[in-house]
Amino acid sequence: MQSGIEGWSDKKKILVVLAHPDDPEFFCGATLAGWSKDGHEIYYCLITSGNKGSDDPSITPNELAILRAEEQKQAAAVIGVNRIENLGYDDGTLQADLKVRKDVVRVIRQVKPDILVSCDPTNYFPNEGYINHPDHRAAGQIALDAVFPASGNRMFFPELLTEEKLEPHSVDEVWLSLTSQPNITLDITDTFEIKLNALKKHRSQIGDPIAFEKRLRTTRHTKDSTDELPRYEESFKRIIFRK
C-alpha cells in the first residue's frame, strides 16, 4: 500500500456499501485491508443476501444466503472489518428506490463514516468480456443517492430523526470502485495476499481455489510488473466534498 497517498492526517471511519457478499473483497479488498492495517475502522453494508449467486441445484436460495453470510464473516475477519450490516434484499432484483435508499441512509447515520466506498453505477462494461451485474450498478446508485442529499439533510426521511433519533450525517469523501473513470490508483502489492486469503473464504463463489488463485495472480495492472516481481493495484473515482 502506498503510504499517505490518501492525504489523511487522522484515523478514518470507512463504510463500504455494495450489493453482494464478496463484492468488497473482489472490488477493493486489498485497499480495505491496507486501511485496516493503518488503523482505520472498516464497516460493511451489504444490500442483498446473495441468495441467487449459484447454479447448484442442491442448495436453496435461503440456504445459500445463510452460507454466504458465514463466508462473508470469515472474509471480513481476514480483512479486519469492524462490523457487517446485512440488509437482506433479494439478489438480482435490486432497484434504486426510496425504500432501500432510506435503509442505507439509516446505516450512514448510525455508523457516521468519514469515507463511503461503493462502486460506479455508470460502468456497464468493466472489460471486454463482462457486463456489469445490475445489482452492482443499482448499489452504486443507491449509495450515491443516500450520500447526497439524503443522509446529511434532516428534511429527508425525517422519521429517522424523530422516531429513531438518528441525526443527519454527511461524509467527507466517496470512493467508487469498479470504475472506468478512475482518478486515484493505489499500489496494493503489500496487501494483495490478504485480499487473496479473504476471497478464498467465499468458497461458494470461487470454484476451484487453485485455478482461482492462478487467475487472480495473473491479473496485473501496473506497468512495472514482471513474473518475478508482480505489482498489483486498485483504482477508484474519488470524490472529496468541499467544506
pLDDT for the residue numbered 4: 78
For residue 149, say if its preceding peptide bond is cis, omega within 30 degrees of 0.
yes
pLDDT at residue 3 greater than cutoff 60:
no
Give percent of the chain above pLDDT 90: 88
**156 falls within a domain:** yes
151: containing domain: 13-240
Say which residues have a Cβ less than 8 Å from residue 117's Cβ, sequence separation at least 6. Answer: 14, 15, 16, 17, 18, 24, 28, 32, 174, 175, 176, 177, 236
**133 falls within a domain:** yes
**7 falls within a domain:** no
- Return phi, psi of residue 118, to 5°: -145, -150
Nearest alpha carbon to residue 238 among 171, 190, 192: 171
pLDDT tens, 30-84?
Answer: 999 999 999 999 999 999 999 999 989 999 999 999 999 999 999 999 999 999 9
What is the identity of the amino acid at 202?
A: H
Report, as an integer, the average pLDDT of 200-225: 87
pLDDT at residue 242 greater than cutoff 90:
no
**105 falls within a domain:** yes
pLDDT tens, 159-199?
Answer: 999 999 999 999 999 999 999 999 999 999 999 999 999 99
- Count: domains in the chain: 1
**173 falls within a domain:** yes
**6 falls within a domain:** no
Residue 204, domain CATH: 3.40.50.10320
Q: 135-158 in b/e burial notation, b at 16+ Cβ within 10 A?
A: bbbbbbbbbbbbbeebbbeeebbe
Question: Using CA atoms, how far apart are residues 163 and 66, in angstroms rounded to an integer?
Answer: 31
**4 falls within a domain:** no
Q: Which three cell numbers stand for residue 207?
A: 470454484
Q: Which three cell numbers stand for residue 229?
A: 516481481
For residue 1, name the pLDDT band (cuts at 50, 70, 90).
Answer: very low
**2 falls within a domain:** no
